[in-house]
Amino acid sequence: MAYGLIPTLQPEGATFSRVYAVYGGVFVIMSYGWGWLIDHDRPDVGDIVGSCLALAGVSICWFWPRKAAAS
């Protein structure tokens, strides 16, 4: 359910391309969680580091200060 819900929560003024890119980073983390919970495939150090990098990228993309678009 969260897979389909997250892209719909974009704030007013956000571009769908940015929302979708951020969603991709969240999907990486959710994939490892699914693998660990359902498939019992515990992430290793590389998986955790990669997920942290994805989360850092998501944070930069989402929270980077931008100038308001001219109307």
Per-residue pLDDT tens over the stretch 14-48: 677 777 788 888 888 889 999 999 999 999 999 99
* CA dist 65 → 14, 42, 62, 68 (Å): 12, 36, 9, 9
Q: Other CB atoms closer than 10 Å to residue 7's CB: what's the count?
A: 13
Per-residue burial over 20-41, b if 16 or more Cβ lie within 10 Å, else e, is eebbebbebbeebeeeeeeeee
Query: 31: which 2 tokens?
Result: 């994939």
Per-residue pLDDT for 67 more than 90? no
E-strand ranges in 1-71 read none
Q: How high is the pLDDT of residue 37?
A: 95
Domain residue extents for the chain: 15-63
